[in-house]
Each structure stands twice: as C-alpha cells, then as structure tokens.
Structure 1
Amino acid sequence: MEQRTALDKQGYIQRNLLDKKDFSLKGFFLQWEWMLVIILIAVMMINASLSPYFLNYASLRDGTMIFMDKAYIVFPMAMIMILRDIDISVGSTVALSSVVMATMYNSLGVPMELAVVICLAVGALCGFINGLLIVKFKELSAVIVTLGTMILYRGIAYVILEDQASGNFPEWFGFFGWGYVFGIPFILILFIIMAILFGFLLHKTTFGREVFAMGKNPTASRFSGVKVDKIKIIVFTLAGLMAGLTALFLASRMGSTRPNVATMYELDVIAMAALGGVSTAGGKGRIIGTVIAVFIIGYLQYGLGLINIPAQTLLIIVGILLILAVAVPKIKLPAFVKRK
C-alpha cells in the first residue's frame, strides 16, 4: 500500500511539474527575468543621473549593506507565496529575535556567541509557530494567522525592552553587518550562497517540486501523498530562521536594537518576491527573479536616499511596484512581460 502511495505521489508530481518544453531561444529571452534586468538597468541609470556619488564601485558595494539584511527573508517568502500563503509577521520576528539576543547578552550575561544562536532559534521558533497554527486551524487564512503573530511578536519585544535600546555588543559582532572578505561585504557573499542553496532546494529537489505541486493544487497534492502540513511547517520555519539571520545583520549594522526595528520589512520582502515573478496565485516563481528584484528595490531605495528623498516617498514607490508586479500578469501585454 505504501509503495502504491509513493508511486501515485511521484506520478502526480511528474504530471504537474515535469511538463518541460523544448528549449527555445526566443522563449528564453522572453522570460520575466529579462524584463527585470531591463528595469534594474533603468534604475541604475536614473540613480546615476540623479547623484554623481552613486555609480562607482565603492558606492555600489557598500550600498548592498544597507538593504541586503532583509533580502534573506525573500527566499522563504517566495516559497510561502508559491504555496499560496503569505507571512506578514517577518518584521516582528526580526524585532523579537534581536531584542531577545540583546537582552540575553546585556541583562543575563549570556556569552554573545550563545546569544547569536538563541537569536536564530527564536526566529525559527516564531516561524514554526506560524506554520503550526496555519496547519492546525485550516479555516483561518495565513494572512489572519500571521497578522495575529505580527502583533504578538512585536508586543513581546516591547514588553521585554519597553521603548529602550539595547546594544554594547562586542567588537567582533560588527563584522556581520560591516565586515569584508577579500574586499567584498560578508553580507553579500552569504546572500549569494543562500541564493544558490534556496535555488537548489526549490528547483532541484523533491521538496521543491512538492512545494510547486501544492501551489498548483493543494487538494490534489494531499490526496497524492504529499505531506502538505509538514512542508508548510518547514517553509514557515525557514522564514522565521531567515528573519533571525536578518536580526543578526540588522543589530550588527546598527550597533544596537529596539522593539520598533524592521518596521514595514514585510512590505519590502513581499514586494521583492512579487516583483521577482512569484505568482500570488501560487505554483509559479523562480529564485533568480527574486534575486534581481532584491537589487532593483534595494538600489532604488539606496539611490533615492542619496538625494534625500523622504522615506514616505520611498514607501509609495515600493507600493506602486508591488501593485504593478501583481497586476501585470493579469493584463494582456506583449510577450516580453511573459512570466514563466
């Protein structure tokens, strides 16, 4: 019976996911990622025309440190959106993880190395709780569940630190946010490694194929033997873990933390994933698209920040990009905006 179930599961995945088409040079260059490349080039040109300090190696290199911390959450967020879910608690998870880490080190005397591990563990725990609630209360949407935990996690952070800041981290901790390896920011190197790992996980493993299958048809996936609940919990836990990693980089870069950090991070992360080609209807998306979108939104914010554009204006621009990213696939446009 178990062998029959395994065969049915494999057959379902093959029928729904292994529908590879013959390679077409035209089709290759009409993919959404090429449109993102064009948008990125346009952003770079606009920023260069607005600020003479933008288009040089040091500026571009160091600019990644400003926006790269939140980019780590984009990878699991893309997987969550492929599953037809959403997680709007990631910013609060970042805040709670960093606050717990700082409190453990400054108030309880925990060694900083252990506090770093605790930070990652708190993030993973928050993500696990999100996933567990979603699979246990299927009548509730992920939006409602993570809205509740968003308020809960942020509230706990305020209970712990109130409205105070906590820092005084050891000198070596600053390497996470400001360190270089062979002249390249450490945060950028690790981002590239994570992009490769998540790309492999999503596109080259059975786990990834099951994620796509669930996004295309959750009910059929469940009846085909895919462990739907287990996969959801794993993906949401990964989101929490990456939020914990983001907390490390953010606290390192700022030199301190407080309960209101990472506010509106969820907006940027969701916008990056959606702009990167991840379908809000589930079942579609690629890591390479989200990587390009990270640099589009990141350099857009960084470049406009160089000319002192107000933060409110940046929020408006990101909101417009998010709306366009969601609306474009629904509009009958030429083939050059085709998503794969």
Structure 2
Amino acid sequence: MSAPATTVVGTATPAHAHPLWRRWLFTREAAIIALLVIVIVYALATVRNFGSPLTLTYLLRDTAPILLIALPMTLVIVTEEIDLSVASILGLSSVLTGVLTQAGAPFPLAALVAIVAGAVCGVVNGFLVTVVGLPSLAVTIGTLALFRGIAVGLLGTTAITEFPEEWTDLAKALIPGTPIPVIMIPFAILAIVFAVLLHFTPFGRALYAIGLSKEAAHFSGIDVAKTKFTLFVLSGAVSGFAGVYFTLLYSNARGDNATGMELQIIAAVLLGGVSIFGGRGALHGVIAGVLLIGTLGSALRLAGVSGEVINIITGVLLILSVVSAAVLAWARGRRIALIGRRRLRTARAAGSASKPLQ
C-alpha cells in the first residue's frame, strides 16, 4: 500500500499573508496619513485663518527644505545609517551661494558650485563611513561641526542679503492659479525619482537588505560600501540644493542658516514610519510625517501657542513614534514565533500520522 500524501505546510511569509488592501491600510504609514487628515480637518474647523491660501503657501515654503532633505535621509536610515550633517551642509551651501554671488559670479554658476560642494561634503561622510569604517553617528556629528565651522569662517557674523531679483522672485513664486509654491515642482520630481529608486528597483531592495543585515547583504552579492557611499553623496547634493533654495527664499546667506534643522528632518523621517534600526520605511509615510509636523506647527502658531510648546509636542510625537515602532516590532516577532510553533506542531502531527503501524 502506498504511503499517504504528505501534508504541505503553507510557506507564505507574514508580510504577504494578508490581502493587499489590508497590507496598505494597516500600516504605520497609513496611520500617519490618517492623523495628518484629522489634524487638517480639526484645524480647518477650529483655527482662524488656517484655511486661507496664504497659510498653505507659507506652510509648503517653510517645509520645502525639510521635504527635500528627508528624501535621501530616508534611504540613509533604511540602511541603518544616519546623516546629522545635512543642516550644516545646507548652511555651507548657503554661504557659498552668497559669497560667489557677491563676488560677481552668475547666480546659476554660484548655485551649481554650492550643490557640488554639498556633494563633496557627502563624499567626505561616505569615505569616513564606508572606507575608513567609522560609525555614521560619530562621523556626521563631527562633520556637522566641521561644515558649520567652515560656513561661519567664510562669512563670519555678517550676512549677504543682495541676490538677483529674478531668482528670489522665482523661489517665492506660485504655480499659476494655485497657492502652491513653484519649489513643489522639483520636489515632486525628486520624490518620484527617490520613490521609484527605493520601492521599484533592485537598488532599493538592496537598501532594505542592508538595513536588515549588512553581512547577509554582502554575502548575497550587494556592494554594501558602494551603496552607502552613494547615499551619502546624494544626501549632500540634495542638502546643497536645499541650501540654494533656502538662501533665495529668505534672501539671506548666513553661516548659521538652518541650525538645528537636522533634528526636524530626522524626527519627521522616524515619525513617517522609517525604523531607526534600518530595514523598514516608505517615502509616502515620510512625506506625510513632514507635512504632519509642519501642519501641526502652523495650526498651533495661528492659535497663539508658543514655539516652546510646539517643540514639546513635536518631541512627544517623535518619542511615541519610536516607542510604538518598538512595541509593534515586538508584537510582530511574537506573532511570527507563535505561527512558526503552530506550523511546527502541525508538521510533526502530520509526520506522526503518516508513520505505518508496527
């Protein structure tokens, strides 16, 4: 008599064990988007002037540098690295833009030099992290001070406020017929590029693999060092571009421009669902996180709340996002372990049932 057929235990991974709609809706990114919608609706109903087109214009203008830098920062943190020097690179590119413009250089050339200088700063970070082998936290704390020191050294305590009017007007311009600033066009293009890169290419899958385990990624054929180096260069270049925009928007080049902005960027990225431990995150959640912090701050300022209270609320949101991520990861691990034990018991029971009687 032939042996009975062996029962095959399902091998679907927990991440794909549910329908697609459930995997999209029951995520941290969806929760942040829902919270953003709730804050907007509540502010429209209770905060005076929040619904005016001018409020939206200033909100998008002010958050544009954070939105821009958050794009490469997401990729960096997904690989379990961090770049704390981005605001200092922004400040340095701002100073270079001002100094070169004041010296008589055409503004497009000054802007290009500032962006290239940002990329060079990224090269410095990438070299120290990937070639020398230093931890990115320590490296970028050091270069944060280094790049800021160079910026202040170039300009001192003075400020440059004279820039070509056609360029400052462009930085403040709106898309015709809308209250949306023109800067949202290059942001949208970059967001699409980074989203495709992260979510729909082998390069993006390599980033998640590195974040989960750089040793396993290395043995699977991924050039971990080259990949991380590329991310730091991208981070520096985008920070340089943000510095040019920041300078034109406020018509002000100073060595201390954007001091402390790196904390706002990292807070928004983590709030948007990116794990500080790497291997997890999505760009749509990050964009929602930036807009949530910006919208909340805008509504509270219009309601007369002080900046100190707004900072406290932002800090509480960040702590809650990190704690909730840790709790969800723990619960997910427990659930996966429980499913594994159940499948193991099922397989053993099926094996015992298939043994012939002695």
The TM-score normalised by the length of structure 2 is 0.83
TM superposition shift of 1:58: 3.9
What is the one-letter code of the residue matched to 2:31? M
Structure 1 residue 134 corresponds to structure 2 residue 156: no
Aligned to 2:113: 118
Partner SS, residue 280 of structure 1: coil
Which amino acid letter does the alignment assign opposite residue 109 of structure 1?
G
TM-superposition CA deviations, 1:72-101 (whole Å, max 9, x none): 010111111111011111111100011011
- The residue that corresponds to 1:25 in the other structure is 21
Tell me if the contact between 2:48 and 2:303 (Cα under 8 Å) persists in the aligned partners. Answer: no
User: Do 1:275 and 1:325's aligned partners in 2 also have CA atoms closer than 8 Å?
Assistant: yes
Q: Residues 275-314 of structure 1, C-alpha deviation per residue, up to 9 Å, x if partnerless?
A: 1111111111111111111110111122222234332222
Quote the residue 1:185 is aligned against: 181
Contact 1:68 1:298 in 2 (8 A): no
Q: Could you tell me which residue of structure 2 aligns to residue 174 of structure 1?
A: 168
Quick check: which has more Rg, 1 or 2? 2
Q: Provide the residue aligned with 2:153 in structure 1.
A: 159
Aligned to 2:49, what secondary structure does the other structure show?
A: coil
Q: Which of 94, 104, 123 is matched with 2:100 structurally?
A: 104
Q: Structure 2 vs 1, CA of residues 21 and 169 (structure 1 numbering), >3 Å: closer, same or farther?
A: farther
Aligned 8 A contact 2:119 2:235 in 1:
yes
Whether the 8 Å contact between 1:85 and 1:142 is mirrored in structure 2 is yes
Cross-structure match for 1:150: 144
Residue 223 (structure 2) pairs with residue 234 (structure 1): no
What's the CA shift for 1:33?
Answer: 2.1
**Is the CA contact 1:69–1:187 (under 8 Å) kept in the aligned structure 2?**
no
- 1:295 counterpart residue number: 291
**3-state SS in 1 of match to 2:97:** helix
Matched letter for residue 161 of structure 1 = L
Cα distance in structure 1, aligned partners of 2:118 and 2:304: 33
> For the residues of structure 2 that align with 1:34 and 1:210, how far apart are their CA atoms?
24
**2: CA distance between counterparts of 1:223 and 1:33?**
31
Alignment of 1:272 with 2:268, yes or no, is yes
* 1:118-142 Cα deviation digits (max 9, x unpaired): 111111111111111111232x311
Asked whether the equivalents of residues 176 and 249 of structure 1 are also in contact (C-alpha less than 8 Å), the reply is: no
Instruction: Check the 8 A contact 1:96/1:156 in 2, yes or no.
Output: yes
2:79 to 76, 83, 96: 83
Q: Which moved more, 1:307-316 or 1:290-299?
A: 307-316
CA distance in 2 between counterparts of 1:114 and 1:332 reads 49
8 Å CA contact retained: 2:274, 2:281? yes
Point out where structure 2 has 5 or more consecutive residues left out of the alignment.
1-12, 332-358
Q: Counterparts of 1:317 and 1:87 in 2: how far apart (Å)?
A: 24
Tell me the CA shift for residue 188 of structure 1.
1.7
Contact in 1 for aligned 2:66/2:290 (Cα 8 Å): no
1:49 shift after superposition:
4.8
Shift of 1:176: 4.4
Q: Do 2:33 and 2:285's aligned partners in 1 also have CA atoms closer than 8 Å?
A: no
Structure 1 residue 62: Cα displacement: 3.7
Distance 1:101 1:20 in 2: 49
Given candidates 304, 308, 318, the residue that maps to 1:312 is: 308
- Counterpart CA distance in 2 for 1:218 and 1:61 is 42
- Distance in 2 (CA, whole Å) between partners of 1:289 and 1:332 is 16
Matched, 1:198 2:232: no
Q: How many residues align?
A: 316
The alpha-carbon deviation at position 41 of structure 1 amounts to 2.0
d(CA) in 1 for partners of 2:259, 2:170: 21
CA contact (8 A) 2:97 2:253 kept: no
State which drifts further: 201-210 or 170-179.
170-179
Pairwise CA RMSD of aligned residues?
A: 2.1
Q: TM-score, normalised to structure 1's length?
A: 0.87
How far apart, in 1, do the equivalents of 2:257 and 2:193 lie? 27
The amino acid that maps onto 1:303 is A
**Cα shift readout 1:166-217 (whole Å, capped 9, x = no counterpart):** 1200011114431122233111222222211110011111111111111111
Structure 1, unmatched stretches of 5+, are: 1-16, 336-340
8 Å contact kept, 1:112–1:170: yes
